[in-house]
Amino acid sequence: MKYYICETCGVQYESSLKEPDTCKICNEERQYIHPNGQSWTTLEEMVDSGQFKNAIEREEKKLYSIHTVPSFGIGQTAYLVQNNDFNILWDCITYIDESTIKEIKNLGGVDAIALSHPHYYSTQIEWAEIFDAPIYVHEDDREWITRPSNKIIFWTGESLKLENGIVLHRLGGHFKGAAVLEWKNGNDEKGILLTGDVIQVVADRKWVSFMYSYPNLIPLPASKVEEMADRVKEFEFDRIYNAFHRIVKEDAKSSVLKSAERYVKAINGTLFTT
């Protein structure tokens, strides 16, 4: 029996004798089956290949980014937040090895894991078992769990206070249960919003965008983006980190609000004439 991993999205499945027929995360309009077809690996194979390593970098006080080199699957970045001796892993990556475990233990380990949405579920159960940490996933995305575990806590409603100064908010949009993490103590108490790709930092770092599907460029309705911007108004933050190591360094809340406004104008046909 093996825990197979889809090589396109990096998500691990429950143990099986043979490779799953298809990846449910990829075989859906928000992702895609690789043009060369579905392929699988396992964590053991990845470690044994000696091809991968994780880069753990200090971003700022009490915030570390973690990503795999060379890039694997979707290529996302996870973050370790050190909040008052309670460490939270925000989003997850597929690859993990002994040196990653040692480095993260040196940073205080992981007390809880929280996920923005199914594209980053990766090997979350491996991480949860290694660090003996619960995983917080929104109930509305339960159907996308590919490896069930009693480590997963399905939270409900619009917000969940994980710790003092750490709140998860369901914004929806990209996925029904899509969530962001508000870290009020970060950035010298000015606050940080970790957004996965629920709010996407774009090439021009003063702006963000919102999509149902990023690889297939399917937009969200204007009403949903307005609703998301309305929620964000209430959060305390001045900086955003997304899942691809893109950062809106300051004034991030006004970036979200003006970006939502621009998005709605574009969708409604009043931003430009071409």
- Contacting positions for Zn ion (CB under 5 A): 6, 8-9, 23, 25-26, 119, 197
Q: Tell me whether the omega of the peptide bond preceding residue 148 falls within 30 degrees of 0, making it cis.
A: no
* Minimum gap (Å) between residue 165 Cβ and Zn ion: 26
Strands 135-138 and 152-155, by their bridges, are parallel
Alpha carbon distance 61, 91 (integer Å): 19
Q: Is the dihedral of CA 217, 116, 107, 83 positive or negative?
A: positive
Compare residues 23 and 179 and give the one whose CB is closer to Zn ion.
Answer: 23
* Minimum gap (Å) between residue 31 Cβ and Zn ion: 6
Compare residues 28 and 163 and give the one whose CB is closer to Zn ion.
Answer: 28
Compare residues 74 and 81 and give the one whose CB is closer to Zn ion.
Answer: 74
- State whether residue 22 is helix, strand or coil: coil
* Partners of 12 in beta bridges: 5
* Minimum gap (Å) between residue 16 Cβ and Zn ion: 15
User: Could you tell me the two tokens for 42?
Assistant: 């396992």
Name the burial class of residue 106, with classes exposed (0-12), middle (13-18) and buried (19+) by CB atoms within 10 angstroms of its CB: exposed
Asked whether the beta carbons of 180 and 234 are under 8 A apart, the reply is no
Q: How far is CA 11 from CA 98, 124, 144, 188, in A?
A: 20, 9, 10, 35
* Minimum gap (Å) between residue 146 Cβ and Zn ion: 9
Compare residues 24 and 62 and give the one whose CB is closer to Zn ion.
Answer: 24
* Minimum gap (Å) between residue 149 Cβ and Zn ion: 18
Compare residues 104 and 180 and give the one whose CB is closer to Zn ion.
Answer: 180
Compare residues 23 and 128 and give the one whose CB is closer to Zn ion.
Answer: 23
DSSP-derived secondary structure letter, 178:
-
* Minimum gap (Å) between residue 269 Cβ and Zn ion: 27
